Structure 1
């Protein structure tokens, strides 16, 4: 039977990407002066998992780089070496290289051989000669290094010619070569070594240089000839056994990760410990007594101890998975089907409303139950698409770490509201706009340490990313305590480009000028920013998601850029209103209240159109029939209704003919199916099959800020 490995490889790709993201986050939090042991262990486990999975699926390039990375991490977590900042930087570079190799294997591009070779060489150099840990003789010193070391013989069994020079280089990382010479037969070779690190570390390294079955290690004290074939397994891979003259071998619990349980010293353990990934089953495989000297032949392992070990291993089963991976296209298909179900349910409810409750009580009750179930199903499906914004925020610690170093600035990043959820479609589209805003804040906003010191500010600038819900929207803020926007410089640049500007423009309009294509006030062009491209794309991308972007800034205090987006563009709660013969949907989250105006509350303001007095506050009046040029059935304001709307911190009064009721509607993209219409955010299908426009409340509020061009009704005398 042929097994389709593609599904398992896909899982490996996803899990490796998660491991790399976890490693990067942990590395950025490490303090070289006082590293957290648990963090180091977690980074090591992530690298170990990547290596094991890559080797299992045959991605040898990934396994080799990760193995070298793992060697250095292992020495750090065992406190054989002190952690240094240069190591963290190399680890981050290694993560980038591994991510590129992973993308290449997924078919998203090609790996950079020079980058792979460079980071591998740097990792190997740090393992062999860590700064401050190399004596003049060039011999490594550390917690595991002693004056004498561990001496023994490494035998290379007969086979194809091996790369002896590369073999020597690898061995020197772990100790001294006292002598080496060819063996008695062709292809055989012998090394007399004094190791300064555990034998197992050497075997792990040589595994990438020479076939494991050709290696055998014998300590100095054991005067026996090398055996042909495989040695007894004690390295966790089933290849090697380190034989001791004084005591039997016991599995090292330092790298067991909970998979192995050390046996008592009196019990001889000769077994395949497994690879820690569940691909191999531990087996008891004692070596034939005839192949060992009588002095070192231990008695057979007592049966109860072996049984206890097997029982413990069997108990350590993988916990039940609490999640499954589902393709986004399947979720989108499910969401579309639920949308159609909502429309169908709405049609049934409208038809049932015309029936006599006394004669059709069971049918009406069933339709009401269907409505409740449909709403619950819709909310459940919507929650599947909702993701925490931490998926976007998590990329910025590394970005700021690298940019701050490049710009020679000191920056502290604060992340707030990381668990705020929004639609997955927004998550994917937000990454690029936010990245550009963050880069601009670092380059243009936050000053260099000496400039901040001269201004009386702390040398370390603060950049804050914050997400929170507000009404029916999600707001994402990029806030810095830097230099702020320079109003005069922006206006001067605008005049230079021939733009119509004036000194009387409010700050909010001046700040919006930086979103014009090609607009930049940077004195110099760097590889970070300054070419006048990007901010217009940011605004265009945000607007394409149904959102808007605003700026607040104060010179030498800082700037706050706010992105406001709807929670989802799929389904919303709305109020249906009638104007003439047409029906419109007002998103419920924007509605404050509705009222029927009296004759004396609507006033005319010269040059500003109509306003309505609501408990002492005068609000602009927007007549919906006037906006869309629809004949109204009414002749005065007193005959209709005013809906008080609030958006972007401002309130307006929307005049309509009548309120029809509250509905849950499925949003259809109007641009995809027709074209963009001013004042309209989308469309939906009503219960009777009619198409109704969903109003863009933010656009209507902006319309109210301009002088009205028409008066809807004549005022009564």
Structure 2
């Protein structure tokens, strides 16, 4: 039976990339604490990647990881100390492996950037004389030494008896793959025992009836041999012993001589005593079953797998890892839903008015079950923000070294969960904020000491839930941001007019305008006037906001507020004439009765509402969306005061309706993008309602006022 191994590649890539993240995190921890358990964790991750890559015949990855594993083994045994140079080399290797895996995943070759690192490993491991071999791996050097060892008749070899359980093929494990890994250690001979194979009529093609006797000529230790079989050690009988080469040859010759006069069945057994090299070269990888990739038994991987085409790159798949407790909860809720549906179905078969109370009770249960089911499904997409935070320590380490600064990174709230879609898009904004804090915020050690601070600066990442949002704080104890410098720079760039009074928070927000930078020296870290505007735009696209608080000489705090999910919104329904719109509940400040006595007009004939000594522009949604039916009354109705990006606007509406959670549908996907509209939803009566974007509406108000002023001028 032929199996296309590419359908298992995605799981391997996901597991391997997660393993590299683990290696990187533990290597960073290793600099602070040379704990042996950290080294063991790094070694296990590297070994899993090596085994998986060998399984799928990604030879460059497996060879390079084998070299990496050799160094880690020395560190694990205490034969090599943990130094900054060694950690730097291992971190470079992690980056190299990540690049190799990404290229292979995209259908390209692994590349050759790893050859330089292999030379460095060989020199570090005492192989300077072999460093000119053009990137030969330690495994290849071992094969060259093997040729010389064959002349030594007193050399020992490994004798392995491998008797798998009949169901081993059903678990996805292919013995030939294990033999291929053994062959990487030295010359290997395989003898298959067919004595337990049943007659053809009784043969089950999915069961394994063969056992094997193997002879491996290699100097590796027993632990390395056992590691090859570690994934199947509970599914087989395994005997490993060591004998001399001379004894093995005498035994083999005697065995062949005694078999010469045996039955035809014995001849069949003898014919399988062949060199594994021939078998492996003639066997197509597409006809092999994969070795199962080790997975966490407490987790469940849900995967949407697309079809694969032989002459094209494998299609990418989207997957998330879900705790088994969440899946169990979902199954329980589906069971409750089935019971409720069965009860309502029975009522419908023979309904009468005497059963109206049962019907109401059943519908109430249905509503509750549906709501709980919705919440459980949404929780499946929720992942700890630690997946994003854990990418940053490496960057902080590298950049602090590059900038000559001492920085301690403190991470809090890494277990706080948010939607996977939000998490995927928050990575770049966080990276920009952290780089900005490292370059602009935290001072050089001598500057900090002169100002009475410790030489080491502190950068803190914190995440927590607040209401229906997740709040992410990026704070530092650096020199802070001086509003006067920001103000002067904004005047020089023409962003504001000199003399205009602005509150400090609005002045600080100017640093997030496109092209704004206060860096005196352009570097490859920051100072090109790009980055902060990207932060603002990306966060706005997620329906969030970013605020800045800073005190000169004390530090700066960037606060990001994001919705927990992009699929569900807590909304306030409003009626404008005959139309119903949805306002995000978190954007609403208050609602006040509309009164002409509180209304003023400024240049450009823009109506404004005075609220607490602040003048707020008024938007009439009838005019903005060209609703043909007029509002109920000119002098009646409400003003809904809403806020986005620290800007307040007042929306003229007829009526506040109920609050409810709405499912967001992309308007851009089904129609086109509209300024002031973030999406649409379907109401309970089947009507489509637009979800208003406060930031977009605020921009529309500003543009309308500008057009009116220009027309008057």
Question: TM above 0.5, one fold?
Answer: yes
Greater displacement, 424-433 / 654-663: 654-663
Deviation at 1:478, TM superposition (A): 1.9
Listed as ranges, the matches of 1:390-409 within 5 Å are 390-409=386-405
Matched, 1:19 2:16: no
Question: Given the alignment of the two structures, is residue 432 of structure 1 paired with residue 428 of structure 2, yes or no?
Answer: yes
Q: Once the two structures are superposed, what CA deviation does each residue of 1:648-703 show, in whole Å capped at 9, x if it has no partner?
A: 78998866433332333221223444455454432222222322222335667899
Instruction: Indicate whether 1:103 and 2:95 are aligned.
Output: no
Q: Which residue of 2 aligns with 1:484?
A: 480
Q: 1:562 aligns to what?
A: 559
2:257 alignment counterpart: none
Question: Is 1:523 paired with 2:500?
Answer: no
- Decide whether the 8 Å contact of 2:432 with 2:535 is kept in 1: yes
Query: Is 2:120 the partner of 1:122?
Result: yes
8 A contact 2:572–2:585 mirrored in 1: yes
**1:323: which partner in 2?**
300
In the alignment, the residues of structure 1 paired with residue 121 and residue 697 of structure 2 have an alpha-carbon distance, to the nearest angstrom, of 59
Rounded Cα–Cα distance in structure 2 between residues aligned with 1:69 and 1:668: 48
Map 1:280-291; keep pairs closer than 5 Å: 281-284=236-239
Q: Which aligned pairs between 1:306-317 and structure 2 lie closer than 5 A? A: none
1:23 Cα deviation after fit: 0.6
Matched residue, 2:230: 276
Q: 1:397 to 1:500 in 2, by over 3 A?
A: same
Structure 1 position 74 matched with structure 2 position 51? no
Shift of residue 612, structure 1, vs aligned partner: 6.6
Secondary structure of residue in 2 paired with 1:30: helix
**Structure 1: gaps spanning 5 or more residues:** 131-137, 139-161, 194-205, 215-235, 244-250, 257-270, 294-316, 710-717
Tell me by how many angstroms 1:28 deviates: 0.4
SS class of match (1:29)? helix
Give yes or no for the alignment of 1:466 onto 2:443. Answer: no
Separation in 2 of the partners of 1:377 and 1:576?
23
Q: How does 1:696-707 map to 2 (within 5 A)?
A: 696-697=693-694
Asked if the contact 1:580–1:625 (Cα under 8 Å) also holds between the matched residues in 2, the reply is: no
The alpha-carbon deviation at position 397 of structure 1 amounts to 0.4
121-130 vs 644-653, which moves further? 644-653
What is the CA-CA distance between 1:167 and the residue it aligns to? 8.9
The change in CA–CA distance for 1:330 and 1:273 in structure 2 (over 3 A counts) is closer
Q: Who is 1:575 aligned against? A: 572
Secondary structure at the aligned position of 1:531 is classed as coil
Partner of 1:5: 5
Residues 536 and 22 of structure 1: is their aligned pair in 2 closer, same or farther, counting only changes over 3 Å?
Answer: same
1:465-497 residue CA offsets vs partner (Å, 9 max, x unmatched) = 222222222222221222222434434433443
1:45 Cα deviation from its structure 2 partner:
1.2
1:289 positional shift: 11
Which residue pairs with 2:541 in the alignment?
Answer: 544
The answer (yes or no) to whether the contact 1:574–1:587 under 8 Å persists in 2 is: yes
| 2:19–2:45 Cα contact (<8 Å) kept | yes
Distance 1:370 1:463 in 2: 49
**Which residue does the alignment assign to 1:231?**
none
- Partner-residue secondary structure (3-state), 1:20: helix
Secondary structure of residue in 2 paired with 1:568: coil
Distance 2:571 2:151 in 1: 81
Q: Deviations over 1:501-555 (max 9, x none)?
A: 3342333333333333333222222222222223323322222222222322232
Q: CA RMSD in A?
A: 4.9
SS in 2 for 1:25: helix
The change in CA–CA distance for 1:20 and 1:421 in structure 2 (over 3 A counts) is same
Q: Hey, what does 2:367 align to over in structure 1? A: 371
CA distance in 1, matches of 2:11, 2:151: 41
Is this contact kept in 2: 1:166–1:209, CA < 8 A? no
Q: Which moved more, 1:42-51 or 1:574-583?
A: 574-583
> d(CA) in 2 for partners of 1:283 and 1:592?
71
Match status 1:37 vs 2:36:
yes
Task: State which of 185, 188, 211 in structure 2 corresponds to 1:213.
Answer: 188
Return the offset for 1:593.
Answer: 7.2
SS in 1 for 2:232: coil
2:460 and 2:8 mapped to 1: Cα distance?
39
Q: Single out whichever of 37-46 and 513-522 deviates more from structure 2.
A: 513-522
Which region of structure 1 is more displaced relative to structure 2, 424-433 or 19-28? 424-433
* 2:683 is aligned with 1:686: yes
1:200-236 CA distances to partner (integer Å, 9 max, x unpaired)? xxxxxx989874339xxxxxxxxxxxxxxxxxxxxx9
- The alpha-carbon distance between structure 1 residues 283 and 688, as it changes in their structure 2 partners (threshold 3 A), is closer
1:273–1:282 contact (8 Å) kept in structure 2: no
- Paired positions, count: 567
Is 1:454 the counterpart of 2:460? The answer is: no
CA distance in 1, matches of 2:98, 2:480: 36
Q: How far apart, CA to CA, are the structure 1 residues paired with 2:690 and 2:119?
A: 62
* Cα distance in 1 between the residues matched to 2:678 and 2:385: 24
CA contact (8 A) 1:388 1:419 kept: yes
The one of the two structures with greater contact order (alpha-carbon pairs below 8 A, sep at least 6) is: 2
Q: What is the rounded CA distance, in whole Å, between the counterparts of 2:588 and 2:64 in structure 1? A: 58
| Whole-angstrom distance in 2 between the partners of 1:546 and 1:678 | 13
Question: For the residues of structure 1 that align with 2:701 and 2:352, how far apart are their CA atoms?
Answer: 45
SS at match of 2:509: helix
The 1:61–1:703 alpha-carbon spacing in structure 2 relative to 1, beyond 3 Å, is closer
CA 1:273–1:622 in structure 2 vs 1: closer, same or farther (change >3 Å)? closer
Distance 1:439 1:546 in 2: 23
1:444 aligned residue: 440
1:97-150 CA distance string (max 9 Å, x none): 11111112212655442x3112112222222289xxxxxxx9xxxxxxxxxxxx
CA contact (8 A) 2:186 2:218 kept: no
Look up the SS of the partner of 2:480 in the other structure: coil
Relative to the length of structure 1, the TM-score reads 0.67
Hey, what does 1:223 align to over in structure 2? Answer: none
Shift of 1:189: 4.1
2:576 and 2:631 in contact (8 A); partners too: yes
SS of 2:658's equivalent?
strand
SS in 2 for 1:284: strand
Q: Is 1:586 the equivalent of 2:583? A: yes
Within 1, Cα distance between the matches of 2:154 and 2:40? 33
SS of alignment partner, residue 414 of structure 2: coil
Highest CA radius of gyration, 1 or 2? 1
C-alpha deviations, 1:383-428, integer Å up to 9, x for none?
1222221121111001111111111111111112212222212211
SS of 2:238's partner is coil
Flag the 1:324–1:209 CA change in 2: closer, same or farther, 3 A: closer
CA–CA distance in 1 between the matches of 2:705 and 2:399? 48
**What is the CA deviation profile of residues 549-608 of structure 1, one whole-angstrom value per residue up to 9, with x for unaligned ones?**
23222322222222222222212232322232221223344557778x6999x8467969
Q: Mark the CA change 1:108 to 1:475 in structure 2 (over 3 Å): closer, same or farther.
A: farther
Find the aligned partners of 1:169 and 1:118 in 2 and give their Cα distance: 16
- Unaligned runs of at least 5 residues, structure 2: 156-180, 190-212, 249-293, 305-316, 321-329, 707-713
